Amino acid sequence: MKKHFGGVCRLLALVLTAALLMGIVGAQAFAAGGNAGLTDAFWDYLTENAKKGVSSVDVSQFGVTYSDEVKKAISSFLFEESVELFNVQAPVGYSIGNGTLVSVNLNFNCTVSEYQARLKKAEAAAADLLKGIKGNSALSDVQKALLLHDRLAVHCEYDRGVYTSAGPGVNARNIYGGLVERCAVCDGYTKTYIYLLRQVGIKSVMNRSDALNHSWNIVYIGGKPYHVDVTFDDPTHDKTGRVAHDNFLLSSAALYKTKHAASDYDTSPTDTRYDNYFWQDSFASFVLAGGSIYYIDNINCSLNRYDGRKLFALSEDWNGWYEVGKRNVFCMARLATDGTFLFYNDKRSVYKYDPSTGKTETVFTPADGSGQKMILGMTWEKGKFICDFTDSLNNYSQGKKSFQVTKDYAGVAPAVLPGDVNGDNKVGSDDARLALRASVGLENIKKGAAAFTAADVTKDGKIGSDDARLILRASVGLEKL
């Protein structure tokens, strides 16, 4: 019997290793694109040197014939595709010899050590947004794209400095602005979404319109392209916890009607299946809790599961409504989670809902003094509620919050399930794969994080191949952790 089990585990280990290698190949495939006939080796070499801060990158060994097409491809690679290279700034220079590209000459906005420190911060912030999504094979690509769209919109706010003489922040157009400083313009939103999607194996590229002075994403689902504009789905006057879905997975025909009326951008997305999808009735974040996705239907005023099952009705008593397109929104509730419980609000209080028991309790009623103000914005983040109070829907729509209150609320921290590396409340082959990647340095799981505790099933203070093997056995019922 032991030999049989060992054979099963060896077979599963081979499958797991193959999946690991496939994941690596997939990640590399997003990084380049082979524009202008340039090879992956060329792009990898350019990336490696850019990260090292090499000002003059000698590329003569590649024998590239210089042309406008090559110049455009390199510019696109540095400033649109390689979103992690936010240390590179324009202009880019080129040295030519006998028609052959000799070197690519780069300019940088920071030192190598500063860049490395910023990149680590960006990776850490991304890891928080990816929790429960990365490595979770129970989620479809549509669900992953939706959850990351919403998490980014809640996490980041539009840099209104673009409307002033001061201009936007120096990082507003890159992933450091979107992830760490949490303030960006359209380029920053677009690049940050590209970065997050790549971490879960979803291809996305930048789409741009000079006529609109705007950029957004094309996202590939099932091999088909769709438009996603996170910037337009995040209100310009930031409203805590508010996320629209009017620009998520649209065809070009549908996007044209959402303030994208121009003719100078990529219109290859033609599939219309999501043009009038159910998420357009939600103006709050879709959240993942206990392995299931939940959302608020703000048009029909209810808390629902992703599969459409209505859990219960929500208050419509908000003393008014928003008009969005031809829809009147009477319910302004927002939705958040700590990964286990759901938090939602009416105009006076915040409530906790336990999906496992179906019980609801009031957890926070901010004191507003006059009794005339209402909660129009709410989220929960790292043990704190954040609530926007206002006395007028009209004032709030113009970005005039009467005041904002925060409240510590850690709730009941769920115990870490041994082996549950991706945080989806179960142990599966995805967890074993993440542990194996971490054991060979391909996945950064910080010591002290819940994922590290879950992966270190041998309790030796590190993540090794033994941990991955035990998690894999547990995933098929051959081991109890």
pLDDT at position 405 is: 82
pLDDT at position 320 is: 57
Question: Is 82 in contact with 31 (CB distance < 8 Å)?
Answer: yes
pLDDT level of residue 22 (50, 70, 90 thresholds): very low
Q: What angle do CA 320, 324, 325 make, to 5 degrees?
A: 135
In the predicted model, what is the mean pLDDT of residues 220-234?
A: 97
Looking at the predicted structure, is the pLDDT value of residue 435 above 70?
yes
The closest of 130, 203, 125 to 421, measured between CA atoms, is: 130
In the predicted model, what is the mean pLDDT of residues 153-158?
A: 96
Residues 6+ apart with CB under 8 A from 126: 175, 179, 195, 196, 199
Question: Is 435 in contact with 468 (CB distance < 8 Å)?
Answer: yes
In the predicted model, what is the mean pLDDT of residues 47-64?
A: 97
pLDDT level of residue 324 (50, 70, 90 thresholds): low
Question: Is 40 in contact with 28 (CB distance < 8 Å)?
Answer: yes
pLDDT at position 121 is: 97
Looking at the predicted structure, is the pLDDT value of residue 152 above 60?
yes
Looking at the predicted structure, is the pLDDT value of residue 332 above 90?
no
Q: Which helix (H) or strand (E) holds 144?
A: helix 141-155
pLDDT at position 5 is: 37
Listed range (111-120, 316-325, 335-344) with the worst mean pLDDT: 316-325
Looking at the predicted structure, is the pLDDT value of residue 130 above 60?
yes
As a whole number of angstroms, the distance between CA 144 and CA 222 comes to 13
Question: Is 224 in contact with 195 (CB distance < 8 Å)?
Answer: no
Q: pLDDT tens digit string along 25-42?
A: 333 334 444 467 899 999
**Chain mean position to CA 87:** 21
What ranges in 163-235 are assigned the alpha helix state H? 175-176, 186-199, 230-233
Hey, what domains does the chain have and what are their CATH numbers?
A: 35-109 (no CATH), 111-281 (3.10.620), 288-414 (no CATH), 415-475 (1.10.1330.10)
Listed range (1-10, 337-346, 395-404, 458-467) with the worst mean pLDDT: 1-10
**Chain mean position to CA 273:** 23
By residue count, the chain amounts to 481
pLDDT at position 315 is: 81
- Predicted model pTM: 0.81
pLDDT at position 347 is: 86
- Specify the DSSP class assigned to residue 355: T
Residues 6+ apart with CB under 8 A from 212: 260, 262, 265
Instruction: Using CB atoms within 10 Å of the CB of residue 345, give its burial: 0 to 12 exposed, 13 to 18 middle, 19+ buried.
Output: buried
What are the φ and ψ backbone dihedral angles of 310, each rounded to 5 degrees? -80, 125
pLDDT level of residue 399 (50, 70, 90 thresholds): low
Q: Considering only the C-alpha atoms of the chain, give the largest distance between any 2 of them, rounded to a whole number of Å.
A: 78
For residue 280, CA distances in Å to 275, 297, 331 come to: 9, 9, 14
In the predicted model, what is the mean pLDDT of residues 224-248?
A: 94
Listed range (88-97, 184-193, 451-460) with the worst mean pLDDT: 451-460
Characterize the bridge pairing of strands 183-184 and 157-158. Answer: parallel
Percentage of residues of the chain with pLDDT beyond 90? 67
pLDDT level of residue 269 (50, 70, 90 thresholds): very high
pLDDT level of residue 408 (50, 70, 90 thresholds): confident
3-class state of residue 264 by DSSP: coil
As a whole number of angstroms, the distance between CA 246 and CA 199 comes to 24
Average pLDDT in the chain: 87
Q: Which range in 129-133, 346-350, 364-368 is most confidently predicted, on average pLDDT? A: 129-133
pLDDT at position 321 is: 57
In the predicted model, what is the mean pLDDT of residues 172-176?
A: 97
In the predicted model, what is the mean pLDDT of residues 235-244?
A: 88
Listed range (3-12, 210-219, 371-380) with the worst mean pLDDT: 3-12
Q: pLDDT tens digit string along 351-378?
A: 999 999 999 999 988 876 555 578 888 9
As a whole number of angstroms, the distance between CA 400 and CA 11 comes to 61
Looking at the predicted structure, is the pLDDT value of residue 193 above 90?
yes
pLDDT at position 32 is: 41
Looking at the predicted structure, is the pLDDT value of residue 75 above 60?
yes
As a whole number of angstroms, the distance between CA 174 and CA 185 comes to 9
pLDDT level of residue 166 (50, 70, 90 thresholds): confident
Percentage of residues of the chain with pLDDT beyond 70? 86
* Amino acid (one-letter) located at 281: D
As a whole number of angstroms, the distance between CA 315 and CA 321 comes to 12
